[in-house]
Amino acid sequence: MWRIVVLMGMALLGACSQTAKAPAKPAGSDQETEQQWIDDKMRDARAGHVDPDFVSLLSGQTQRKLLAGDFQGALITAEPLAQVTEIANGPNSPKTASALEMLADLYCNLDRCAESIALLERAGAIYQQQGQPGRVPYVRTLNSIGASWNLLGQPARAEPVLKQSLALSQQYFGTDSREVGVVYWLLMSSYSAQGRNTDADAAKAKAQKLLRR
């Protein structure tokens, strides 16, 4: 099955920008000890004491596990990362949106796409508030929402989201851009799942032409 992880690279970079400062894991810790350490740090964060090194460690651990394809392992650090990022930066911060987007994509890789939709929609709303700086991540988030609906077997719900992404992609990146090609490829999946073979073939042809560029 096609996996949505290919769409989240930019979100991962945004959420993990401080990985170079990440401290080492607690010496000799096993999974249970590490989980207790995370719980203690999260308790401190909720009390108003956010350790920046803790945020960096979660970012680094999540990134390494994702790159290794260990999605279940990445979930252990990605969920608290999203929570502590929101605590540290506020609910409407682009950093919070990036962390939510990464967690949503991770859920979809674990066949939990239904849970990812609300996170992606929230991230998209935050990006919209950013004006021009939020244009690219907003389009990326629309693509992820459309892909999630496709994976959930609801292509009719994916189609309007992807058409919105298509219009914005053409406006922001140009009609001959690879970004537009990506949206056409996602639309091809939606059309095909709805039995609209003529539309699917046309979208596939456009996608292949633009992605070859």
Task: Convert the pLDDT of each residue in 124-172 to its tens digit.
Answer: 999 999 999 999 999 999 999 999 999 999 999 999 999 999 999 999 9
Instruction: Report all structural domains of the chain as residue ranges with CATH numbers, in order of start.
Output: 4-132 (1.25.40), 153-213 (no CATH)
Q: Lowest mean pLDDT: which of 11-15, 179-183, 193-197?
A: 11-15
Beta-carbon contacts of 175 under 8 Å, excluding residues fewer than 6 positions away, are none
- 9-40 pLDDT per residue, tens: 333 333 333 333 334 455 445 778 888 999 99
H-type alpha helices, the chain: 9-15, 31-46, 52-67, 71-89, 94-109, 113-129, 135-151, 155-173, 178-193, 197-211
Which tokens hold the place of 7?
Answer: 């769409």
For the residues 70-89, what does the mean pLDDT come to?
A: 95
Per-residue pLDDT band for 95 (boundaries 50, 70, 90) equals: very high
At residue 205, what are phi and psi to the nearest 5 degrees? -60, -45
